[in-house]
Structure formats: C-alpha cells, structure tokens
Amino acid sequence: MLYIGIDVGGTNLKAGLVNEKGEILATEKTPLGAFPGPEGFARTLAGLAEAVLRKGGAALEEIEYVGIGIPGAVSGGEILYTANIPMAHVPMEKLFRRHLDLPLLLGNDADCAAVGEWSCGAGRGTKNFVVVTLGTGIGGGLILNGKLHTGMGAGGEVGHIVIVSGGAPCNCGRRGCWEAYASATGLIRLTREAMAAHPESALHMIAAENGGVEGRTAFQAAQMGDETALALCGDYARYLAAGVTDLVNILHPEAVALGGGVAAAPEQLLLEPVRDIVARECYARHTDQVPRIVRAELGNDAGIIGAALLGRAI
C-alpha cells in the first residue's frame, strides 16, 4: 500500500507519496496563499493529493489514506482549531471527500513529526518516545505505548509547561513557559539580553556579519571562546534541560529526540550539557534507566512522512 502525507506549513502545503518503509516517492507543493475558507481549503488539499498521486504514477486504488499534519488541534476527522489559519470545528474529512474519495486522517503537525521519527527516524524500535521541536515555538509529540497521545485533541503541548514562575510572557497568555526560554525565539531573546549587558562580546560582531541575531549566533560566538556566549549557551542548555527533565519525569520514555534548527548546534554546546543535566536530575536516575537524548533525524521530511504513516500511531 501507499500513503499520501500533507504537511500544512506557515507558507506552503507540501505533499508526499510515501511507501510502507516511509520512503518519499514523489513530492508536490503549493503556496498556502490567502485562506479560501474551509471549503476552498479542502479543495486545495484534495487537488494537491491528486497532483502528487499523478507525479508518483500511482493509482487511486493503491492509496490507503491521506494523512494531514495541521498546526493546531484535531479530533477524528474534525479540525478543532488552527494557529495562523482561521478554522474552528471544521468537519475536514467530510469536506475533503467531496473532492477525493479517500479516508482522511488528521494530526497535529508536531505529532506528525513525532510519528515520522518514531516510524523511521530517531525513535525507531521504541515504545515510548518524545520529540521536541525547537523552532519559533516548541512543538511536542508524545508516543506512549506505541500510540500517539493527544488527550482530547490538544494534549502534548509541551512548550507551555512553566519552567520560570512569573517569567517571560508567552504567546499563550501565561508567563515563564518553556517555549519563552528554550525555543529559537527564546534563544534569540536571551542572546539580545546578553549582548545588551556585554558590549565587548563577540556576539555583536557575529550578529553584524550575519545581518542580525539568529538562533545560531550564540553557538558561533561560543565556538570562538567568547565568555559571554559560553555562559549564554550554558543558560540555554539549562532551560532546555529543565523541560526535558520534566517530560522524562512524567513519561519516562526510552528516548527524547530534539529537532528544529537549534538542535543542529555543536554537540558539546547543547546535546552533551543537556544529557548531563537530565542524567543528574531526572528521577529515573535512581533506576539506572535514563532515557537517550538524541537529535531528530528526518529534518523537514518528518512532517510529510509522519502524516503519511499517522495510521500506525492513532
């Protein structure tokens, strides 16, 4: 059997024709553009699925279902809520099947990334697995006993656990959320604060060379031995490890995979200190079963592969 996975991103809709091994056989994409309303959106999704089907030379009968990763919350065939796109309580499977008569599975985008990594990336062979994606925010996907855990639909929003009571404001309305400190956006804020306090730091030079402060600015300056940047990277690793340790304490998974651009930072500046802190602080250290903390492996393809293989985890 074959599957179609669609990743609904902030600017593009990307579709892939995927086989049972999680290999992408063909891809298509279309700009998200101005939102045409739920009916028009369903038509766009169906058109994209048909386009990737044609491109991959597959027949409709070979497709088991279409899986879609959405930035928001879903339940069954219904979209409960989406960030960035104005949709609430939309019966998407019903609308989609008016244009293309295939079963439609809906998932949250971070959950789809987790399913992708679990099926054929960093979480292969595990029963309990967590993916944390460090981007504009923090996305989380939880695989528990081989199934995606979403609660009533909006569970697994790990970015909004509070790690600093009364701390920095978060987009969700709370203060001190993990996302406000350990996302790429949080790291950029911490970098700007360190620069303001340390005019002598090499952070200024690197930011000027790259046309502004980025998620990697801190790591680049730290690799040059800049003391402010080294301290900043240490602070960032502690914030990241605080949330990872909380997840480990609640779920005790076999592995936690970190994805997103920031996770590509040099191992000794990020993954190693995070591993050390989690190993020292998590409750499971008493059991000698400290989870592996690893990098996600599938990059931008995780969303498409995970949407396509969603049926294995729900």
State both tokens at 240.
């990241």
Give the nearer residue to Zn ion in terms of CB position, either 96 or 181. 181
Q: Three-state SS string across 219-256, please? A: HHHHHCCCHHHHHHHHHHHHHHHHHHHHHHHHHCCCEE
> What stretch of H or E contains 7?
strand 2-8
The DSSP secondary-structure symbol of 170 reads -
Give the nearer residue to Zn ion in terms of CB position, either 141 or 291. 141
Amino acid at 24: I
Q: Rounded to 5 degrees, what are φ and ψ at 70?
A: -120, 140
Give the nearer residue to Zn ion in terms of CB position, either 93 or 157. 157
Q: In whole angstroms, how close is the CB of 160 to Zn ion at the nearest point?
A: 4
Between CA 228 and CA 232 the distance in angstroms is 6
Q: In whole angstroms, how close is the CB of 183 to Zn ion at the nearest point?
A: 10
Sheet holding 138-144, edge to edge: 147-148, 138-144, 129-134, 255-259, 292-295
Q: In whole angstroms, how close is the CB of 180 to Zn ion at the nearest point?
A: 7
Q: In whole angstroms, how close is the CB of 170 to Zn ion at the nearest point?
A: 3
Give the nearer residue to Zn ion in terms of CB position, either 165 or 287. 165
Amino acid at 161: I
Q: In whole angstroms, how close is the CB of 142 to Zn ion at the nearest point?
A: 17
Give the nearer residue to Zn ion in terms of CB position, either 32 or 154. 154
Tell me which residues touch Zn ion (CB under 5 A): 160, 170, 172, 174, 177
Between CA 188 and CA 311 the distance in angstroms is 37
Count of Cβ atoms closer than 10 Å to residue 99 Cβ: 16
Is residue 146 within 8 A of residue 129, CB to CB? The reply is: no
Q: In whole angstroms, how close is the CB of 173 to Zn ion at the nearest point?
A: 7
Give the nearer residue to Zn ion in terms of CB position, either 97 or 160. 160
Q: In whole angstroms, how close is the CB of 174 to Zn ion at the nearest point?
A: 5
Give the nearer residue to Zn ion in terms of CB position, either 15 or 180. 180
256 forms beta bridges with: 130, 293
